[in-house]
């Protein structure tokens, strides 16, 4: 009996201690700071990043799938990524940034690959190189990584992807960027076809599409004072009046391990001359699947 009473008293004491701890927590009472405590220094981490469409979309910002941080050269000449030749060796250059003002990002593994033009399609590796990027505001930021890519022999649309794989990173969500390319121009610049794949989920995914005409605003002239916030666009411009964009099908259900094609027909208004980008972004129940930027050119 005495042993049982002892266990009951111990249980009641432990419960009182627990409830007292919870009460102190709810009232906001914390441990008094020890002025003589030698605290460890704050950890300094780099944040290497590239223009990342998926990350910017997660922040609610409009994006373009023509990545400004991925460029293509033939020799030393910058070329139009929408007018590439088949079976030709090009140099793909990725521009890499670092938002940390304290820690450089050293020996970043930069992986290049390409997809057939579309969303969620199968990845084809090109290769991996390493790059160093200094802290923000110092020489060596941004840094650059380059690799040789021989375009496929099959004509069509392809999407270049660049993935940053640093040893340490304060934000792992902004390390993947994509750039649209075309191996020869399509016969009609207002007619396109792209693929939507499901190589991630073990069950079917339903993909819906959203179309806008966002493009990255131009930089101001050097020395011109301008508030950077003025270049931050919070919402993407819709399809302009007079334009017609038709996607067939308008919504797609793709089985596990499968791909399906979507046809896009874009009709400009009468009298239009120039270039107009159209961003087509696919979404499923989990978020962004991917996207393409289709550019209509009328001489």
- 210, 252 Cβ separation under 8 angstroms: no
Domains of the chain: 48-218+231-298 (2.60.40.2310)
Q: How far apart are CA 110 and CA 175, in angstroms?
A: 9
pLDDT, position 187: 44
| Best CA proximity match to 251, nearest among 193, 191, 209 | 209
pLDDT, position 182: 65
pLDDT in tens, the chain (299 residues): 556 666 677 777 777 777 776 666 666 555 555 555 556 566 789 999 999 999 999 999 999 988 999 999 999 999 988 888 889 999 999 999 999 999 999 999 999 999 876 666 778 999 999 999 999 999 999 999 999 999 988 777 788 999 999 999 999 999 999 998 765 444 444 778 888 888 888 899 999 999 999 998 877 776 665 666 566 677 889 999 999 999 999 999 999 889 898 999 899 998 888 888 899 999 999 888 888 888 888 87
pLDDT, position 165: 96
> Residue 216: exposed, middle, or buried by beta-carbon count in 10 A (0-12, 13-18, 19+)?
middle
pLDDT, position 189: 46
| Best CA proximity match to 248, nearest among 203, 209, 287 | 209
Residue 26: strand pairing partners: none
pLDDT, position 34: 56
pLDDT, position 296: 85
* Pairing between β-strand 70-74 and β-strand 176-183 as defined by DSSP bridges: unpaired
Q: How far apart are CA 242 and CA 127, in angstroms?
A: 44
Residue corresponding to tokens 């950890």: 43
Q: Using the CB atoms, write b or e for 1-33: b if 16+ within 10 Å.
A: eeeeeeeeeeeeeeeeeeeeeeeeeeeeeeeee
> Residue 71: exposed, middle, or buried by beta-carbon count in 10 A (0-12, 13-18, 19+)?
middle
């Amino acid at each position: 009996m005495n042993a049982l009473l002892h266990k009951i008293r111990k249980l009641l004491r432990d419960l009182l201690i627990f409830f007292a701890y919870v009460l102190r927590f709810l009232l906001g009472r914390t441990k008094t700071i020890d002025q003589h405590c030698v605290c460890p220094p704050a950890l300094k981490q780099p944040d290497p990043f590239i223009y990342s469409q998926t990350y910017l979309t997660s922040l609610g910002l409009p994006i373009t799938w023509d990545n400004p941080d991925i460029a293509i050269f033939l020799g030393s000449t910058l070329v139009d990524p929408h007018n590439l030749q088949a079976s030709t060796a090009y140099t793909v250059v990725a521009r890499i940034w670092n938002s940390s003002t304290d820690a450089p990002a050293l020996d970043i593994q930069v992986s290049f690959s390409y997809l057939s033009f579309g969303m969620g399609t199968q990845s084809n590796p090109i290769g991996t190189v390493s790059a160093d990027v200094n802290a923000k505001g110092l020489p060596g930021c941004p840094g650059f990584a380059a690799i040789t890519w021989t375009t496929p022999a099959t004509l069509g649309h392809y999407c270049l992807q660049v993935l940053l794989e640093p040893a340490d990173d304060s934000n792992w969500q902004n390390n993947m960027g994509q750039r649209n390319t075309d191996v020869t121009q399509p016969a009609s610049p207002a007619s396109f076809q792209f693929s939507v794949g499901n190589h991630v989920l073990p069950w079917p995914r339903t993909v819906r599409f959203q179309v806008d005409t966002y493009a990255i605003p131009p930089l101001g002239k050097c020395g011109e004072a301008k508030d950077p916030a003025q270049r931050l666009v919070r919402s993407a411009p819709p399809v302009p009046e007079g334009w017609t964009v038709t996607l067939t099908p308008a919504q797609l259900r793709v089985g596990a391990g499968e791909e399906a094609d979507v046809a896009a027909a874009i009709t400009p208004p009468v009298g239009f001359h120039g270039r107009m980008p159209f961003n087509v972004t696919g979404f499923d129940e989990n978020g962004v699947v991917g996207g393409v930027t289709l550019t209509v050119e009328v001489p």
